[in-house]
Structure 1
Amino acid sequence: MQITAKTQKVGLLGWPLGHSLSPAMHNAAFAVSGLDYIYLPLSTPPNLLSQAVAGIRALGFAGVNVTIPHKVTVMDYLDEVDTSAKLVGAVNTIVVKEERLIGYNTDADGYICSLKQAGITVAGKSAVVFGAGGAARAVVAGLVGANIASVTIGARDQSKADGIAQLVAGTVPVMGVAWDSSTFVAALSQTNLVVNATPLGMYPAIASQPSVPWDLLQQSVVISDLVYNPPITSFLAEGTRRGHTVVGGAGMLIEQGALAFELWTGCKADTQVMRQALLAGLEAIIKK
């Protein structure tokens, strides 16, 4: 594409960015849409985050995505934080409107969209989530917003799981427990959905996976993994081998990206094109 002074700039703030596939995914979507936008990787060390955010405003960016380790810290430098970000306690998308920086979080809705794409609804059901980091926060917020009946969050450190439970406390029972407790095992034996919101199984440590007592799970339980590299993790492979419906992490990455695309442009993204670009990028990484 021809980049001119009229080309709208968006990008990704993070550190380090390494093999981020967001630029390939978004630029493919911009190309097929005919929109004059470009998506740039913006490697930003933590000590320079405030300057980088000021630079987005000064350089006329339409917005950016925000990733690790800036999703929480960046909130201090914004003019406004949307309800979606307040619920999750983190920002993954910034939109620049009339020089005002507004923070959003598309991870929660992106996760629910990825389940819907796989034909799975969560209303009235129960879920068990492994992990108590930012990804888990987004998943729990998404599930609560989609009218889940109950959520159990299991973590190595129960206080972190409790922290998420308190963040979303309201009409839906959300409980934090230690993942080596009998309470957690009991929740797994009765749940409808098991979510890995930890990095376990992520490339290159692809053999690792959450410690699930598989024989206790009901056959109808859906196995969901937020890890997308590799596309089929050990956790998903084991779930498939045991006859469970499985949902990989690529769907959440694509759907949260598509929601950010729409916030910046006002147009729907071609998620099929985004998926093709993502999978091609993953294949290239694996071949290295």
Structure 2
Amino acid sequence: MLTGKTKNLGVLGWPIAHSLSPVLQNAAIGKAGVDYVYTALPVRPEDLPAAVAGLKALQFRGWNVTIPHKTAIMPLLDAIDEDARIIGAVNTVVNDDGHLTGYNTDVTGFIQALVDAGFVPQGKTVVLLGAGGAARAVVWGLIKAGVQAIYIGVRSPEKVQPLVDEFSAYGTLTVSHWESEDFAAKLSAADLLVNTTPLGMTPHVDAMPPVDWSKVKADAFVYDIIYTPAETRLLREAREYGHRVLNGEGMLAGQGAAAFVKWTGVAPNVELMKAKLRAALAT
């Protein structure tokens, strides 16, 4: 029941009507029995400074940040966590008595889902398909988890070289065209194959990045951060070739759970959040 003591949370984005964060977070709130409520907050890009000032004035405890505000919000905050600073994007804000701190919990969500699935990244070799916005959090998460090397395959290597140069200060990274012989050799060495592209996402479910399964190690783990559909063409083919697979459901729920802890100090029921996500997607 909402009362005068109920603390407010939300998610900022434009557009925002499609967001499943309210479903996940309010399910977690109800299960944990904490006095919070979480809502979607549509904010036009030009209104972001006013929105942040307004949420601070209204004493919102915190909020998530999604497209197109993840980078634009950073100068409006009082402090930026190291993960968010290195990735260059904030997806979670915590308001401590008017002091706003930005975090990026995508890192936690990505790695925790992988570990929960039984894959330990430390010392492993990784091939990444794509290098868009989500890839920065994935790359940083893998580096923090202690992987040996990250090989990125893309359509336009020259566009991704600046990212490789930037993160090479922290680990071993290379980039090559994903249809080149060089990439095929990298694919053969991979313990983990991760898709960070939108290829295969609903409604374009027949698409997938080019992968020659004959070049992929038999025991390689395949992780697609897409969660709709639950099984992309990439994951279906990987499963048919005998690979262990994981979709993006755990990453989405995991990043939400990490944000929940920062706001409330309480660990939510992540399995419930996943179940609510599946139910929402089904409808």
Question: Percent of aligned positions with the same letter in both sequences?
Answer: 43
Q: In the TM superposition, what whole-angstrom CA distance separates every residue of 1:96-123 from its partner, at most 9, and x where no partner exists?
A: 1120111000111211100011011111
What secondary structure sits across from 1:73 in the alignment?
coil
Indicate yes or no: 2:46 matched with 1:8.
no
What secondary structure sits across from 1:153 in the alignment?
strand
Provide the residue aligned with 1:140 in structure 2. Answer: 139
Q: Please tell me the residue identity of whatever aligns with 2:174.
A: M
Q: Shift of the alpha carbon at 1:44?
A: 1.3
Q: Shift of the alpha carbon at 1:179?
A: 2.4
Indicate yes or no: 2:130 matched with 1:131.
yes
Provide the residue aligned with 2:90 in structure 1. Answer: 91
Indicate yes or no: 2:268 matched with 1:273.
no
Q: Shift of the alpha carbon at 1:70?
A: 1.1
Instruction: Quote the Cα distance in structure 1 between the aligned partners of 2:158 and 2:239.
Output: 32
| Contact 1:131–1:161 (Cα < 8 Å) also in 2 | no
| Contact 1:261–1:267 (Cα < 8 Å) also in 2 | yes
4+ residue runs over 4 A deviation: none
Q: Please tell me the residue identity of whatever aligns with 1:10.
A: L
| Contact 2:196–2:225 (Cα < 8 Å) also in 1 | yes
Greater Cα shift, 14-23 or 139-148: 14-23
Q: Shift of the alpha carbon at 1:161?
A: 2.2
Q: Please tell me the residue identity of whatever aligns with 1:134.
A: G
Provide the residue aligned with 1:226 in structure 2. Answer: 225
Counting matched residue pairs gives 283
Provide the residue aligned with 1:164 in structure 2. Answer: 163
With the length of structure 2 as denominator, give the TM-score of the two structures.
0.97
Provide the residue aligned with 1:20 in structure 2. Answer: 19
1:99-138 alignment to 2 at 5 Å? 99-138=98-137
| Contact 1:202–1:227 (Cα < 8 Å) also in 2 | yes
| Contact 1:158–1:177 (Cα < 8 Å) also in 2 | yes
Runs of at least 5 residues in structure 2 that lack an aligned partner in the other structure? none
| Contact 1:194–1:224 (Cα < 8 Å) also in 2 | yes
Q: Shift of the alpha carbon at 1:171?
A: 4.6
| Contact 1:164–1:176 (Cα < 8 Å) also in 2 | no
| Contact 1:88–1:108 (Cα < 8 Å) also in 2 | no
Q: Shift of the alpha carbon at 1:182?
A: 2.5
Aligned CA-pair RMSD: 1.2
Provide the residue aligned with 1:207 in structure 2. Answer: 206
Instruction: Quote the Cα distance in structure 1 between the aligned partners of 2:33 and 2:204.
Output: 39
Q: Shift of the alpha carbon at 1:176?
A: 2.4
Q: Please tell me the residue identity of whatever aligns with 1:249.
A: G
